[in-house]
Amino acid sequence: MKQEQKNLIRKAVVRYVGNYNTVTEAAQSMKNVTAIEIMQIVNNNRNAINDRQWQQIARQLNMHVTEWKTADTSASLLLRILMGDAQRYAMNYGVSMAGGMGKTYAAEIYSRSNDNVVYVTGSAAHNRKTFVTEMLASAGGEANGTAPEMLRNLTELMLQNDEPLLIVDDAHLLKDRVLHMVVMLANNLMGKAGIMLMGNEELRPRIIEGVRTGRLGYEEIYQAIGRRFVTLSYLAPSDVAAVCRANGVYDEETIAHISSNCDNCLHTATYLIQQCMEQRIAA
């Protein structure tokens, strides 16, 4: 298995662990996976886990770990336009998108394909310091000092580059106190860098309700993203069909079956497409 594939699986594992109180709980929710193995992956000790176990974990996360062709879905096209505008014109956006629409995949592709992009994923386990540490690491900086000191270092580092962009994925997982760090960054980078604050369908109502009820800091968060959210809730049948055809599944009946059984989730669609591909190879 290629290192790039392991890196994508590691990011997915980190996000998965963020949904649980402990690593042990996350491991117990999976089959034939130990907490030690999860910790090895989270800590980036890649050689401690054999390829077969990497693949087993990836399958349980509905990830495709062989060669995969990307397709232009409505979500990926929209996000590519938004990220491009945010980067070129130093704009800020909030994105609230249903899970399984390819938000994270599109962000990872964009961050790998474009210079001066700082990409981080949110986690419920983050505190202010670990969150800034992740951002600094993505920007190629060193994590030294207090959280405010590291935030200043990150600002200086980003402003050394042309058209910098910060993408905060899975922002709905961040605690309020950590989410407010994005506001501080937005103030530091105003007019000089773009920011994409992205999360699942819970992110928009959380922030809108926070503004409505006067919760501390939520008006500032809403202002930091230009008081606007881009939302997308459903996969179009054409999205699933595009992914199917990009990966060699052309039979219309099979495409219709995958579309009707994927539960509005590209992760599930990917798993079903992979099953079709494996059955074709076995035949």
- On the 0-12 / 13-18 / 19+ scale of CB atoms within 10 A, 57 is buried
Q: Which two tokens stand for residue 226?
A: 């230009």
Q: Is the pLDDT of residue 2 over 70?
A: no
Name the band, by pLDDT with cuts 50, 70 and 90, for residue 283.
very low
Q: Give the model confidence (pLDDT) of 242-264 as tens digits.
A: 999 998 899 999 999 999 999 98
Q: Which residues pair with 195 in a beta bridge?
A: 92, 166
pLDDT in the model for residue 6 = 81
- Domain 74-232, what architecture? 3-Layer(aba) Sandwich (3.40)
pTM given for the model: 0.75
Least confident of 54-58, 76-80, 81-85, 248-252: 54-58
Q: Is the pLDDT of residue 139 over 60?
A: yes
Q: Which two tokens stand for residue 235?
A: 């996969």
